[in-house]
Structures are given as structure tokens and as C-alpha cells.
Chain A
Amino acid sequence: MSALLRRLGAWAITLWAVHLATFFLLRAARGGPFDEARSLPPEVEAQLRADFHLDEPLIQQYLRALGGALRGDFGPSLRYRDVRVTEILADALPVSIGLGLGALMIALLLGIPAGLAAASSRRGLGDSLVRAGSTLLLSVPNFVIAGIVIGWFSFGLGWFPPAGGVGWRAFVLPCLCLGLPTAAQLARLARSAALEVLDGEGPRAAQARGLSPSRVRSRHILKPALAPLLAFLGPTSAALLTGSLVIEQVFALPGLGAHFVQAALNRDYTLAVGITVTYTALLGLLTLLADWAMSRVDPRVEALSG
């Protein structure tokens, strides 16, 4: 229990440090939220700066932002002046989570079986195919994968819209593009983990004890091989949920990734701080979950107890 509290404490300090760093780094960048190709009349610009407290001393602005963040309110967006940052987060987060989870499902459903199959046919045709395929998917950037997938499924077969679209159909291609490289990574990892277990004593001993082949596979190969996969899945899930910028842009999905970069480019201080803090919180939560799952699979790991 005390370990959990320690973790949560460290998490809170990380969130605060990220908030502080984002706030001051953004202010250090040149240009402001109201700079546009057409200059605002000076008195209008002064009024806008006052409306959003940008005329106050920086430290006062920081304390105001920190106080707001503690209450879960990051203030109004400086670009979408009539929308609050929390409203934008509430709209965009489900899109990114849906996209990330879809990609994770694809990665798990394709990657692990492919890796295990490759391990069981070591140096055979299946193994070579999985290894070649995963190397290819890992070396091609995801916007190239996106181009190929759009050309094939949207313009060739006409099954899915090339971008935007409505309902679940809008998510199939982006989830595929985001999930495939992770599936490749998982396949390689699952393959080497399974090979390591197969080479060990466990499965043979189990077989000698007269256990059925399916029971040997599930208890003595799959379960021990899962531990390194879980360690990998924690940060990977976080990366999938937060790192979908390019895919969101290519498929015009209104997720957090696109906001993340645009907010910094637009000098939308409040939105950029809000998103960075949200991402950090998400990352911490997912790592915690992965550690907990690890402790369930591998008794040597006592992440959150004792």
C-alpha cells in the first residue's frame, strides 16, 4: 500500500514539474497567441491581452494557471477564445483513446499469434515470413503505410473513406496504420520470448509430467512468455494513445495529437499546457496499470505491494 502511495506521490510531483516546464517553455517561444498576418489595432491587442491576463507579471500568470490546474480547469483556449480547454479535452480525448485502443487490439490480435506461430516453426517458412514482414513494417514510417492503405482500401476496394467519415468505419484504417508497426514489434518480442521459454526446462518437464499439449502451451509457454510482453505493453499503450499525431492529421481525426502540436504552434498557452498535463497523467496511469499486470503474471515482480 505504501508503495502505491509512493508511486502516486512521485506521479503528482511529475505532473507539477511538467506543468511548470511547459508553462515557462511556451512563454519563452517568440510570438504570441494574437499575432496574425494582419496586425490587430494596438488598443484592441492590449484589450485582448488584458482579457486573458497576459498583461500580468509572468509569476502571477503562473500561479493563476497552477491554481486553475489544481481545480481541473486550464482556462479558456487562447485560439478558440469562446471554448474552454477542458471542453476541448473532453471532445478530443475519446477520439484518441478509441484510436489507441483500436490500434492496440490490432497489434495484440496480429502480433502475439504471429510471434508464437513463428517460434513454433523456428527457421521454417512461417518464421521467415513473420520476421521479414515485421522488419518491413518497422522500417516503413506510418504515413507511408497510411498512403498505401488509403490507396488500397479507399480508392481500390472502396471499403472505407480516405479520411474523416462517420462512425466505426472512420476508425478502421487509422487504427490499422497505427497498430501495424506495434504488431510487428510485438511479433518479434513474442517470438524471442517464446523461444527462450521453449529452450528452457519448463515445457519439457511439464510434458514429462504428462500434461496435455494445450495445457503445456497455455501454462508453461504462453504465461512465462507474457512477462516481457507486458513490460513492453505499458509504455506502448501510452505511446499508442498519445502518439497518433501523424495518423490523426492524415485521416483528419479530431483527436488530441493534432491539438498537441497545433496548440504549441498557435501559442495557445492554456491548451498546450492542458494537453501536456493530460498526456503526462495518462502516461503515469498506464505505466501503473502495466506494473500491476506484471505483478499478477510474474510473482517475482512486486510492483505495488509490500
Chain B
Amino acid sequence: MTLRVLAFLLAVLPLACREAPRGLVVANGDDVSLLHPQRTASISDARVLQAMHAGLTRLDPQTLSPEPGLARRFEASEGGRRWRFELRPGLRWSDGLALQVEDVERSWRQLADPSQGSPYANWLEGATIRTTPADPRDSTDGGSLEIEFPHPQPSFAEMCAFPALAPIAGHAPPEQVGSGPFRFVSRRVRDRIVVERNPFYWDAAQVAIPAIDFLTVDSQVTALNLFLAGEVAYAPNAPELAVPALLAERGEAFQPQPQFASTFLRFQVTQPPFDRLEHRRAFVAAIDPDALAASLGRVRQPAWHLVPPESPHWEPPPVPRWRSAPPALPQPAREQRFELLYNSSELNRSVAEVLQAQWLANLDLEVALINQEWKSFLAAQRGLDYQISRSSWIGDYLDPLAFLEIFHSESGNNRTGWSDAVYDGLIEAARGESEPEARRLLLREAERRLLDQAIIAPLYHEVGLELIDPRLEGLHRNLRGYIDWGRVRWSPEEPPS
């Protein structure tokens, strides 16, 4: 009997064993859901897609300013309403077939088509695209493409480095064929995705890593264990509890980095108690973001605004005056039951408890805390079935509009029930404005309005807790967690053991 069990075990175990990792091994956090660059908005998906798909531009991994990618030249006119891209000649897909400017046009039309299921379908809304095919007699001509938007898109060159705007192959599934520095080798759901150096990448000569294994590691503690044991060279999120120890002992591998992301509270403004401005203001004014950030270990920057201060050329509007002279909460409001809704996580619970204490101390009010798992939480938020809800937002591109447009009354991400003609007008005017300074002033006024109406209560600006093997070069901490895997290499002095 035992022998038979042993024989079965020997038969089954090899099935369960996995192929040997090569090159760089990365703990990629949550499991990758989709390897289609147009169909996912997940950060862990984007990390892999960034390796497999190249954009017309790529970003400087330190400054995030756009540089030529598949396009050797790009230029904007009319304040970013028109863009022209000139492709490199001789571009190829990762299977060796030619990549032409028509492929870019087809991919962008597909992105804008709602039947393709892209969360970014509205990025190219109303745009017209014209291509000039490469001249077959001129080997130095890669063809060109012009895109014209109904309103200026000053960040479009930066957006082109984003996987959603990367050209996707028409002859093969984009899950397998791309144009990035690496190409697909294998995928096992919940285990790993393996990519190898793509010899047809336009900048293949610069790609130094032979292959990357992106491991699924849900647990941040497990990712930290793997990192400390030298099994992985990169992990996107260190566990909150380990932050003080990592700061003290692993300073070369762990340096918290501000992100282009904010955490704030949303108020549901269509129903009592927060349909009344004075109630919202009293609740916002009773929050002390400095004390909150201090209680979270001072890694995060306290927020008084929605737009992160790192926005380029941005000057935030003044903090509303009523925040320093808080209005008293009217007596009838005190008889209400107040609730703060958050999605279950250790950090969110700590934040909620600090806020609860601040409201108790400053308003003498007991606020009930309600936590829900992620999907129920989202459904409650979307259905406006809450009073106050913890929220956060990551900007897709370095522009205050990426944050402010979510509170436009027609945005699906508004989720407060707030509909304000003045605010909508400011956002629309900013969208149509091609003069940078005038646009900034409009956006600044929009944020002032949002804060003055107390639709949200800013809490803190997010921070990246990446663990990066100090022997890696070219993997820089930046505002967006952007990684150009094609430019990552092992330091020549200290090759990995």
C-alpha cells in the first residue's frame, strides 16, 4: 500500500515541479489577469506588459520625460491637439514580421472601439488618425502617423509609453507577440510568466538581461522573504509592518518614493447627512493630516490637496480658510449615525481608527467604521450606498487633470453624486485650453472649488515601498513606478551569485 502511494507520489510530483528560472526573477505581486495591453488597468499586469510591448515613446526612467521609442521623432502642435509621429524604419514584431505604421493605426482604432473591452477606450475619443505609409523605395523611411484630438492632449507623448497605446499585432495574439524588449515564453496562471530577450526589439543591443520571471506572490511577507533570501531581485510592495526595520537595516534596497497617487475620503452628497455643506466642512476640518501621517510612521506625505505636489509645473490652490476656523456642527446633525466605509486591509483599518479618534476628539462624535471586501466595497461606492468612503486614485499621466477629471459629473469615477456646473465648466475649459499657463489656472481653480465644497477630504499622498536589489542598474524609483525592463542590467562590479 505504502509503495503504491509512493509510486503515485513520484508520478505526480514532477507534474507539480516547475521549470528553472533564468536571468532576473521578480516578485510581481497580484496574479496577472490579462496579458492584453489594451484590456487591463492593473498595475501588476502593466509591469509585465511594459516588458513585452513597446510604445511609440518610452520614458526616461528617472525623470519620466518622454523619449523616442518605436517613433524616432515626435512633435506636437496647437498645444498638443495634433501630434505627429515618425516611425523608425525596419521595425519588427517579436516573431520577426514587419511592424508598420498601419499597425499603429489599426491598434489605436481597436483601442477606441467599445466592443474591444478596453478601460482606456475613451483616451482616443473623437480623435482622427492619418497615416503616411513608408516609401518602399526609401529604406530610411518608416512611415508617419498624425493624430488630431478634439481638444489638446499635452500629455499624449507620455501616454504613448503606456501599454494601452502600444501597437498590437494583428496576425498573432498580443498575449504572445509584441514589440517590446522581451518576448513571451510561457505563462502559468497564479505561478509565473517568463519572458526572454527579444532579438527584434528596436533597441535590442541595449537589452542586457537574458530573461525575466515574473512570479505571482500575493503575500507581501512572502515577497519580502524571497527578497531577503536573494530569490527575487525586485518586489513592488514591502509589508507595512516591516517598514521601520527595512528603513533602519536595508537602506540601500529600500527607499520609500512618493507616487503620483493620493488617498482621500469621498462624501456621498446626495443624501443626509452630507448633502449639507456645513456638515462636510465640519468633518473635513476635524481631520489633521499631519497627525495621521505621523501615526502611519511618517513614510507618507500628509495631503491637503487631491493633486500630488509632484505634478510638474503645478502650484496647488490655497487650503480653504474654513479649515483653520472650523465651523461647528449643527446640533440636529449630532443625532445622526455616522459611518465611514473602507475596504478591508490592515493599513485602511489603521487610517480609519485614527480618523475615528480625530472626529471624536474634535467634533465629539462617534463615527462607526464599516469594512467590506474589495468588490462589495466598490459596489457600495458606485451605488452611492455609503456616507464617507476611503478612496485613492493613481494618476495615469503626470497631469493634474488625471486627478481632477474624476469629479466631473459625467465621470464614472465620480462616485459621490456631486454634480456641479461650475466645476464641470472649469474642467471642460481646461480640456479645451491649449495655452499651458491658462490651462493650469483653470485646473487650479477647479481644485480650489472641489476642496472648498468639501466633496473630498485629502488624507495623504501615496508612497512606493519597492524593494530593489542594489546590484541592479537602470531600475529607478520614480513617481509612477515605471520600469523600462529593456534598460535594466546587473551592475558589472557585482554580478549576481
Contact = CB atoms under 8 A, between A and B. Distances in A.
B275 to A, nearest CB: 23
A48 B119 CA distance: 11
Given A166-B21, A254-B216, A101 B8 contact: yes
Interface in B1-32: 2, 5-6, 8-9, 12-13, 15-21, 31
Interface string B98-139: 000000000000000011111101100000000000000000
Contact of B34 (A44, A80, A251): A80
Interface of B: 2, 5-6, 8-9, 12-13, 15-21, 31, 33-36, 39, 41-42, 114-119, 121-122, 173, 175, 188-191, 215-219, 221-222, 225-226, 228-229, 231-232, 373-380, 382, 392-393, 412-413
Nearest to B411: A39
Nearest to A95: B16
B115 A98 contact: no
Contacts of B380: 30
A209 to B, nearest CB: 27
27 contacts: A29-B375, A30-B380, A31-B378, A31-B379, A36-B378, A37-B393, A38-B41, A44-B118, A79-B33, A92-B189, A94-B15, A97-B16, A98-B9, A101-B9, A102-B13, A108-B2, A154-B229, A155-B229, A161-B231, A162-B229, A164-B217, A164-B226, A167-B17, A168-B13, A170-B18, A252-B222, A266-B375
Contact of A44 (B6, B35, B119, B217): B119
Contacts of A108: 2
Contact of B219 (A47, A252, A267): A252
A45 B463 CA distance: 31
A40 B188 contact: no
A171 interface: yes
Given A150-B225, A163-B222, A254-B190, 11 more contacts: A39-B413, A40-B119, A41-B122, A82-B35, A87-B189, A91-B191, A108-B2, A170-B17, A249-B218, A252-B217, A254-B191
A71 B229 CA distance: 45
Contacts of B118: 44
Interface in A14-66: 29-32, 35-44, 47-48, 51
Interface residues of A, number: 60
B352 to A, nearest CB: 18
A88 B31 CA distance: 13
Interface stretch (A128-136, A185-193, A257-265): A257-265
Contact of B189 (A41, A102, A171, A254): A254
A92 B20 CA distance: 18
Cβ-closest 3 pairs across A and B: A31-B375, A39-B412, A98-B16
A41 to B, nearest CB: 5
A47 B115 contact: yes
A298 B372 CA distance: 51
A36 B218 contact: no
B342 to A, nearest CB: 13
B15 A98 contact: yes
A258 B218 contact: yes
Nearest to B18: A166
B216 A43 contact: no
A228 interface: no
B114 A102 contact: no
A162 B221 CA distance: 10
Contacts of A249: 218-219, 222
Interface in A89-107: 91-92, 94-95, 97-99, 101-102, 104-105
